[in-house]
Amino acid sequence: MSKTVLITGATSGIGEATTRRFAKEGYNLIMTGRRAERLDVLAAELMENHGVKVMTLNFDISKRSEVEKAIGSLTGVWRTIDILVNNAGLAAGLDPIQQGSFEDWEQMIDTNIKGLLYVTRLVAPMMIEKGNGHIINIGSIAGKEVYAKGNVYSATKFSVDALTKAMRIDMLQYGIRISQVCPGAVETEFSEVRFKGDKQTAANVYKGYTPLTADDVAEAIWWIAARPAHVNINDLVIMPASQASPHYHFKDL
Ligand code: NDP
Ligand code: 8X3
């Protein structure tokens, strides 16, 4: 029987690449994001090319009522979710703490922590009822180390790290695996979002060294999901070879 994966933030970057990777393996897909048109285009492509079933859920993950409505709308086989990839997230701004924007802070906290919690709270009981499942959280190297001006973004990803460890304990008795993937720099729409559409500043983030691609991270996520049932990858930190930490890129040496 085909398996089902729910991937949040499937409209671009790591989420989109992960959706494509699982489609290639024949998984049925529940894809989420705010940009409905992108979801529809990708869904049509994946159904056509891989013959998989696709459900698109168009909602803002930071809004609890929207999450409840969207996940609550799943019925029948769409409730037998085998894998949840908690990917949707963002950085907003890059400012020292004394100059940070309240709006940016709230958006990051509401999306990266609260959004992840809302989805997990609604999907975990489905996995418990089914008797198995695997939740893969997308953290960050910023959830392992802090860097100048990364303050609140880092705090949200340190939270993902803590929640990953806590979920693993709570879910242990139900046979549900909990993993985390923590990437370093990945060239996606991430920096364009962080710098509010400033494409030049965003492009500069990836100049002078070779960043990861979304496909690199998707492959790591797929590898974690494909381990035998008795194996759990707790935490996988994946960096560009030319980036030793958030501070040190090959270009800076
Ligand atoms: P992108 O900006 O390319 O993708 C972000 C995805 O998250 C989009 O699909 C977006 O969908 C979704 N998203 C953002 N906010 C919301 C929201 N409020 N409601 C619903 N969906 C939302 O960035 P990445 O692919 O790089 O980021 C994916 C994850 O990886 C994030 O959690 C990020 O923190 C993490 N990460 C990224 C790294 C990088 O260097 N790029 C490194 C380490 C971790 P839409 O806008 O359509 O709603
Ligand atoms: C994204 C990686 O180092 O830009 O999570 O914060 S970093």
**pLDDT for 19-78, tens place per residue?**
999 999 999 999 999 999 999 999 999 999 999 999 999 999 999 999 999 999 999 999
Could you report the per-residue pLDDT of 123-172, keeping only the tens digit for each?
Answer: 999 999 999 999 999 999 999 999 999 999 999 999 999 999 999 999 99
pLDDT over 80 (residue 189): yes
Q: What are phi and psi of 81, to 5 degrees?
A: -85, 125
pLDDT class of 184 with cuts at 50, 70, 90: very high
- Quick one: what percent of the chain has pLDDT higher than 90? 96
Going along the chain from its start, the domains and CATH numbers come out as 4-252 (3.40.50.720)
pLDDT at 252: 62
pLDDT value of residue 248: 85
pLDDT at 247: 82
Residue 208 gets the label, from left (phi > 0), alpha (psi -120 to 50) or beta, of left
- 118 is a catalytic site residue: no
Mean pLDDT of 79-99: 98
Report the separation in Å between the CA atom of 162 and the middle of ligand 1, taken as the mean of its atom positions.
19
In the block, tokens 């933030």 appear at 9
pLDDT-derived band at 98 (thresholds 50, 70, 90) equals very high
Q: What is the CA(157)–ligand 2 centre distance, in A?
A: 9
Ligand 2 is surrounded, with C-beta below 6 A, by 140-142, 150, 153, 185, 246
- pLDDT over threshold 70, residue 197: yes
Q: Tell me, rounded to whole angstroms, the distance of Cα 132 from its chain centroid.
A: 20
Residue 236 · residue 219 · CB < 8 Å: no
Closest CA to 56 of 65, 64, 44, 68: 44
Q: Please give the distance, rounded to the nearest whole angstrom, from the Cα atom of residue 58 to the centre of ligand 2.
A: 26
What is the pLDDT, as a whole number, of residue 118?
99
Q: What is the pLDDT of residue 26?
A: 98
Confidence of residue 107 (pLDDT cuts 50, 70, 90): very high
Average confidence score pLDDT of the chain: 97
Quick one: which ligand is closest to 160's CA?
A: 1
- 89 or 248, which is more confident: 89
**Would you give the DSSP letter of residue 213?**
P
The Cβ of residue 182 has, within 10 Å, a number of other Cβ atoms equal to 24
Give the ligand with the smallest distance to the CA of 108: 1
Listing DSSP states for 87-151 in one string gives ----------GGG--HHHHHHHIIIIIIIHHHHHHHHHHHHHHHT-EEEEEE--GGGTS--TT-H
253, pLDDT greater than 90: no
- Selecting among 147, 153, 174, 248, the annotated active-site residue is 153
pTM: 0.98
Can you state the percent helix, strand and coil of the chain, rounding each to 5? Answer: 50, 15, 35
Would you say 249 and 237 are in contact if contact means Cβ atoms under 8 Å apart?
no
Report the pLDDT averaged over residues 218-240.
98
pLDDT given for residue 249 in this prediction: 80
